[in-house]
Amino acid sequence: MSVELKICTFNLRVATEHDGINNFPYRTHRILDTIRTEKPDVIGFQEARDEQRLWLRESLTDYTLLGCGRNANYRGESVVLAYRTDVFEMIAFEQFWLSPTPSVPASRFGADQSTCPRTTVAASLKHHDADEILHVYNTHLDHKGPIARLLGATQLIQRISAQGGKFVLTGDFNATPDAAEIQSITACPTLPIVDATVGLGGTFHDYGKLDNPEKIDYIFTNAECDPAESYLIEDHPADGVYISDHNPVFAYITLN
């Protein structure tokens, strides 16, 4: 039996007082309304600090949430993977760092990477009505270094290829579609990969400050997928308050 799954990638934007009326506590109602309206089966969140992870776990009671902070003490900014508890069973889970030593907390690539460690949360999920296992990866590549981003993308594709099976990779890749780090994924010679967001426009709008938003958020997959069905939510402010500084992005895949 085949099932259609709705996948979301959603950069929350870190909680910071510098954002004024768009600081995280003032946006939580809009974030929650978006998730409740869209009802995605799987969500990849980025930029969740400790207090934001706690809020997600307390608020998204229909979901199981995975992921911890990127620092050596497992605290700090994180990527979080959420899946609907009522339709999935978790077969396996891991969090690893994008680095030459992925099991070492807070490890990084050298080269041009920023001081920020970068992590990936991965889970193997079994849908109640499908035979195939879905391997889901959620990541956030470095905001500063193109070499670090390319190394991170390469590490991810190597792990995904070695694991095999159907996968979804969500995240903020901090790179536009023509960048080498994105091309290393979409033109992978060993694995047919679809960019489910290929027909979408820009996703990072900086709270409406950018006239031409940048496309840096993606959903990649080797499952059956029609990119024409993908969409993003145009983030119009309500009384000056946005959902985030990124547009939430959605895609559909079919799992057998």
pLDDT per position as a tens digit, 42-92:
999 999 999 999 999 999 999 999 999 999 999 999 999 999 999 999 999
Alpha helices, DSSP H, located in 9-61: 24-38, 50-59
> Over pLDDT 70: what percentage of the chain?
100
The mean per-residue pLDDT over the stretch 173-201 comes to: 96
Q: How far is CA 80 from the centre of its chain?
A: 8
User: Quick one: pLDDT band at residue 190, thresholds 50, 70, 90?
Assistant: confident
Spatial CA neighbour of 198 closest among 122, 153, 161, 249: 249
Question: Is the per-residue pLDDT at 223 higher than 90?
Answer: yes
Report if pTM > 0.75: yes
H or E stretch covering 158: helix 146-163
Q: How far apart are CA 130 and CA 18, in angstroms?
A: 45
Architecture of the domain delimited by 3-255: 4-Layer Sandwich (3.60)
Question: Is the per-residue pLDDT at 111 higher than 90?
Answer: no
Q: How far apart are CA 56 and CA 17, in angstroms?
A: 19
pLDDT of residue 1: 79
- Residues 115-159: pLDDT tens digits? 999 999 999 999 999 999 999 999 999 999 999 999 999 999 999
